[in-house]
Structure 1
């Protein structure tokens, strides 16, 4: 019996796949658990159309991700932060800071796209991984000492 998977099923396939299974397996296990639906010519055509749309959307997102990654690699995130005389920051630069800086530059990403092993707590130049979809890139970060304006009387 040919069925269309509604969900991913281990050792059978992914959601949307059309698979051939034994009649008893479909009737006694897959259909009662609502994991599949029976195929008809009309449904098969709809599934194929939907798959084509999904593939087109994935390709579009992949192209957009590549463009964003290419744009990110030309950007240097500059931060002026207060620090002690040893170069340790009073605070840190984290994923949210990177997201906010990039948002100001017109690039909207999620903080989950920014991969930092640990927050930046010292002055200097760093590289941080950015993962968007399946595309991976790096953004440069430069942390400089904030110049203090002292009022002398």
Structure 2
């Protein structure tokens, strides 16, 4: 039986992979746990649509990241913190200190 995995399953398949598994494994294990669905034409079309959405979303996030990095790459950040005479800090710099 052809199934579409809805999540990663170690040594079996990755999310959105279409693979052939035994009927018993699919019906008794994968389907009840909602880890996979039967690979029908509708389900396959839905998975392809989701894959395209994921790719588009990833590209948008990547473009936004590049834009943000371009904005801050020439900025200088100064943080005042206690340090010893060698310049080693006594504590770590945390995200809250930068915000």
TM-score > 0.5, shorter chain as reference? yes
Task: Tell me which residue corresponds to 2:93.
Answer: 94
Q: Which runs of 5+ in 1 are unaligned?
A: 101-153
- Residue 22 to residue 76, structure 1, CA distance change in 2 (3 Å): same
TM-score normalised to structure 1 length = 0.52
- How many residue pairs are counted as aligned between the two chains? 96
TM-score normalised to structure 2 length = 0.74
Cα deviation 1:104-135 (Å, max 9, x = unaligned) = xxxxxxxxxxxxxxxxxxxxxxxxxxxxxxxx
Return the structure number with greater helix share.
Answer: 2
Task: Map residues 1-153 of structure 1 onto 2, 5 A cutoff.
Answer: 1-80=1-80, 86=85, 94-95=93-94, 96-98=96-98, 100=99
3-state secondary structure, aligned to 2:26: helix
Q: Which runs of 5+ in 2 are unaligned?
A: none
Q: CA deviation at 1:42?
A: 1.3
Q: CA deviation at 1:80?
A: 4.9
Q: CA deviation at 1:76?
A: 0.8
**Bigger radius of gyration:** 1
RMSD of aligned alpha carbons:
2.6
3-state secondary structure, aligned to 1:66: helix
Q: CA deviation at 1:24?
A: 2.5
